Structures are given as structure tokens and as C-alpha cells.
Structure 1
């Protein structure tokens, strides 16, 4: 528990030490929000939604570097590298979302009529979600190779390293990270209400800070597991 709390402090310090990165990621989030939220904008502005790939790539590299024992911050000026990593992360997420969506639908449809099928759907959803999370970690251990996110034998071997305590710790870190990842797209108010303006500005700066810190938090907790259990 002490290490878990200590990792939170480490993650906060890490995020604060990259003020330039926070400001740039904030700006990219704002551009993404405007581009995706306003359907009436022309094609040029809509194309700016690609900035989300940069944000996703940046977050991936934060976890990747941390997992491999580095305190380095991703280089924000290497846009090609960040966009490519963001694209791969998006593709992996999309592929896994197909069976995840199916299993959720399966559970809902059979909730009242066939409880056994509903439970099977829930179990398959949980197992697929775990494969998704561990698959992402597995590719970080293999230099970010796309196919390693779907290597079931390696995913199973990696999952065997987790005891109950470390499993809860890492999954908690991942859930926290994904909750903040959802807030990546900043919502700006269309009005001029002072409260809404303060809220928008606060979100503009806080969302990227929590996003970066959460990605670091995941990497620290997984690295701690690997340090205690050699792969």
C-alpha cells in the first residue's frame, strides 16, 4: 500500500516536471475538442481531429518509458512517431472493442430470458478486457510491436505473473488511467457564464495533467510487479 501511494506521488511529480508537455497537450486537446464537437466546421477543421492521435501516442510513450525503467518524457516534437503510436493504439483498441461490444450486448439481451448466457457474456467480456490490458503491456515489452497486443500465449504467460494483490493494484491503476483518458477531449462551454468559463479553463489544464500522471502511474505499478517477479 505504501508503494502504491508512493507511486501516486511519483506520477504527480513526473507530470509537473513537464510543464511544456502539459501546455502543448492541453492545446492539442482543445483543437481536438473543437474539431470533433462542432459538426458544422469545414473539412479542414475536422481533419484536425488527428491531433487526438498525438495525445494518445504521447500517453502510450509515458507508460512505455516508465515500464522500461526510464524517467524520460516523450519528445513532443517527433510528431510522426507520436501519430504512428497513437494510430496503433487506436487500431488495437478498435479491434478489441468489437468482441467487447458483442459480449456486452450478449449479456444485456439474455439478462432476463437466459441468465446462463448472460453470465457467459459477462465472463467473456471480463476475460477479453483483461487480454486487452495485458496485450497493451505485452507490446510495450516488445518494442511496441502491434501484433504483440494479440499474442494470446504471451498474454497468458504475462497474466500468470500477477498475484491477487498485484492484480488489484495494476487493474486499479489502469482503470484510473482510462477514466482520465476519457476526459482527454476537453468540453468548452458555448456561453459566457463565469462558472462555465472557469470550469473550461480548469479542465484545459487539469485534464492533460491527470492524463499524463495516470499513464505514469500505470507504468510504475507494472514495473514494480516486474521488479519483484522477473519475466
Structure 2
């Protein structure tokens, strides 16, 4: 537990040490929120826009560097194409996995509605296993220089999952939940009202969500890096 707390502190210090990065990420998130609120296009296109791809790519590099034991921050200057490309690849991977996850949860609901508890439990278990494969697949990809196909390399994904004990599993899941909470905040647009609560929400979306996003990406990778070091 002490090591996990140290990783949290290190992740916070890492994020705060790059104030320019936080401002840029926050600004990009704000633009993405504005587009999501005002766009009348397909929902998928609303979420996957170039500004959001940059943020996703930035987060990938944060995790990537941490898994390599490096403390540097991803650069924005002269690096936008790489960030967009990385964000696009990760978004496609998540989209593919999400399609199957949605199908499984849909089947579970239908089975439950029909009173078939056995099938319901089976689909829920498959959903959980596939979700773990998504997390491990993204990590496995970072461990193989960001190769797209490595996110679907089932044998390596299973081998990576096997090295997690209960403690590390819980730590990584906590960080993943924080990171995905950020993703949800981007999909949900800024509040339209001007009440105190609306203003606080908008400020939190601008500063707090990106801060948690960067910190959680670092935290995930630090815990995995520490675990992999113990395997050597």
C-alpha cells in the first residue's frame, strides 16, 4: 500500500511539473466538449474528433514513457501528427473491443429478461474477461512499441494478465476507472446554465478532469512497470 501511495504522489508531481501540458490538454478538452455539444453529426464523429485524438495520443505517450521507466512528458511542438495518429489507433482499438463488450452486455440483459440466469451469468463473465483483455491489450501494445496488432495478441495478453496478483489488479483497475471517468466528462458537454453548480462543473471539466487523466495514465503504467520489474 505504501508503494501505491508513493506512485500516486509521483503521478501528481509528474502532472504538476508540466503546467503547460495541463493547460494545452485542458484547452483541447474544452474544444472537444464544445464540438460534442454543438455538433449535429453522427455520435461517433462527435466523440472521435482531432482534438480528442490529440488528448488520447498524449495519454498514451504518458503511459508509454512510464512503462519504459522514463519521466519525460510528451511534446506537443512538432509532434501533433504522431499524437493524432496514436490517438486514432487507440480509439480504433477501444472501438473494436467496445463493440463486442456492448454485444455481450446486450445479450446478458436479454437473457436476464427471459429469466435465463445461467446465460446471463455466462455473458457477464465473458464481458468481464473481455474488459480485462482490453486493458491488458492496450498495455501489451505499449510494451511492443505501440504496434496496433499487439492489442489483440491473445496469448501475450493472457500471459500479461497472469502476472497480476490481487493487489496490483485492484490498483490498476482504480487508476483505469479514474481515467475513464475523464473520458465520460469529455463526452458530456459543458453545462448550458450559469448557476454556481454549472460554473463549478465547467471549471472542473477544464482543469480537474485533464489533471486526473494525466495522473491516472501515469499511475497505471507505474504500477505495471513495478510489477514487471519484479518478474525479472
Q: Normalization by structure 2: what TM-score?
A: 0.91
Q: How many Å apart are 1:194 and its aligned residue? A: 4.2
Q: 1:176 to 1:76 in 2, by over 3 A?
A: same
Q: What is residue 225 of structure 1 aligned with on the other side?
A: 227
Q: What is residue 107 of structure 1 aligned with on the other side?
A: 108
Q: Tell me, what secondary structure is at the counterpart of 1:70?
A: coil
Q: How many Å apart are 1:181 and its aligned residue? A: 3.0
Q: How many Å apart are 1:38 and its aligned residue? A: 0.8
Mapped to 1, the partners of 2:228 and 2:212 lie a distance apart of 24
Mapped to 1, the partners of 2:188 and 2:104 lie a distance apart of 30
Q: How many residues align?
A: 226
Q: Which ranges in structure 2 are unaligned for 5 or more consecutive residues?
A: none
Q: Which ranges in structure 1 are unaligned for 5 or more consecutive residues?
A: none
Q: What is residue 87 of structure 1 aligned with on the other side?
A: 88
Q: How many Å apart are 1:224 and its aligned residue? A: 1.0
Task: Kindly report structure 1 stretches of 4+ aligned residues shifted beyond 6 Å.
Answer: none
Are 1:65 and 2:65 an aligned pair?
Answer: yes
Q: Tell me, what secondary structure is at the counterpart of 1:111?
A: helix
Q: Tell me, what secondary structure is at the counterpart of 1:189?
A: coil
Q: What is residue 39 of structure 1 aligned with on the other side?
A: 39
Q: Tell me, what secondary structure is at the counterpart of 2:87?
A: helix
Moved more, 58-67 or 201-210: 201-210
Cα offsets for 1:24-70 (capped at 9, x unmatched): 111111111111111369xxxx7993210001000111111111101
Matches within 5 A, 1:58-207: 58-77=58-77, 78-112=79-113, 113-185=115-187, 187-207=189-209
1:215 is aligned, of 214, 217, 220, to 217
1:54·1:86 contact (CA, 8 Å) conserved in 2? yes
Q: Tell me, what secondary structure is at the counterpart of 1:183?
A: helix
2:141·2:147 contact (CA, 8 Å) conserved in 1? yes
Mapped to 2, the partners of 1:48 and 1:182 lie a distance apart of 13
Q: Normalization by structure 1: what TM-score?
A: 0.91
